[in-house]
Amino acid sequence: MGKHSMTAVALALSLGAIVSGMAQAQPAEPTNTIIYGVPKPAPLVAQWSSGNVLGGGLISGLMALSDGKALAEKHNVVDPAAAMAPILAARLAARAGYALSDSQIAPTPKTKDSVALLASKGRYAVGVGTVQRRVIWYPTNWTHYSIIYWARFYVLDTRASRIVVQDLCKWTSPREGAPSRDELMADDAKRLKAAFADGQAACLARFEGVVDTVALDPPPSGPAFASAPMALATQPLPTDEILAPPPRVDMAAIAATGATAMSPSSPSAEAREEVDARAAEPPFPPVGIIEASPLRPAVVPPYAPPTAPPIIDSGPPSARVEYRVAGRDENGYLVWPGKRP
């Protein structure tokens, strides 16, 4: 099994696990709870040498799987997705105002009732699954290795039986400073574990950005706990301040002063000067009338002038034809001899 075929198998396994049932964790309010789980991860594949390829497709795939399984068991290489699922579920629950399941729900074999089973345990299900873990030599450098990690994140609406959002993260270790096999396996595969931890951190940051864009239906019984923006939005508004009415005007006191009316305010000296300056400006000059000139002829007359004599055919009088040449007058109109005015 080649590199691409192994990837396709891993992706198919992950997609099949997305709708897998989950069991044994019963929240108090399923419609107000977000549950989370981790589908079965893709196996670790270790292609240490060209022998994995020279052995043939199926044989090379089995060799790589066997080497990867032995490596994971010997050095306890854990699934990076296991730690991401609760972090992403807690982030989504806090953002949407849902309660979070107090324990991870283990996947069960896929059945036709798996989604209905999930609906009895939570309103939304968050899943993070590893779809590829691979250690492979570089084609141009068989003594140094690349570490590949792919993970898939999804949010399932258990009531509507649909995927709300999903995303695939692909991470590959940098080629610069690529380790050898001895460097990867030294100190209980410390460098290999660190590489998968880097891939986990990169995918977690990507999935957190996806979580921040997800819009869920509000919980029916109100938020169990809320993020800071939601908590501020639910704070009561301050009460309106009632202002005292303005003091009453004593008209009798005003009448006692002898004033019968208030003189309107007069414009300032600067305003009067501006008005006077505008009045002294000359009126707008009248618009002149431009005499229209006659249009030039639309077509330059290629004809003979109208004064040209008619052309008479030679021949017998019965067959004689008279031609008159058209022309244009001084105004450009088409005329010909004998035309009525």
288/7: higher pLDDT: 288
How far apart are the C-alpha atoms of 114 and 53, rounded to whole Å? 39
CA angle 281, 282, 286 (to 5 degrees): 140
pTM of the model: 0.54
Q: Which residue has the tokens 């004599």?
A: 309
241 or 36, higher pLDDT? 36
Domain ranges of the chain: 3-230, 301-341
Dump the DSSP string for 220-282. Answer: TT--SS--HHHHHHTSPPPPPPPPPPPPPP-HHHHHHTT--SPPPPPPPHHHHHHHHHHHHSP
Residue 166 structure tokens: 């999903």
Q: Are 72 and 53 in contact (CB under 8 A)?
A: no
Residue of 10, 5, 34 whose CA lies nearest to 22 = 34
pLDDT at position 255 is 75
Q: For position 32, what pLDDT does the model report?
A: 87
Residue 155: pLDDT band (50, 70, 90) is very high
Rg (the chain; Cα; Å):
46
What distance in Å separates the CA atoms of residue 237 and residue 2, rounded to the nearest whole number? 64
Tell me the per-residue pLDDT of 165-208, one tens digit each, with 9 for 90 and over: 999 999 999 988 888 888 988 899 899 999 999 999 999 999 99
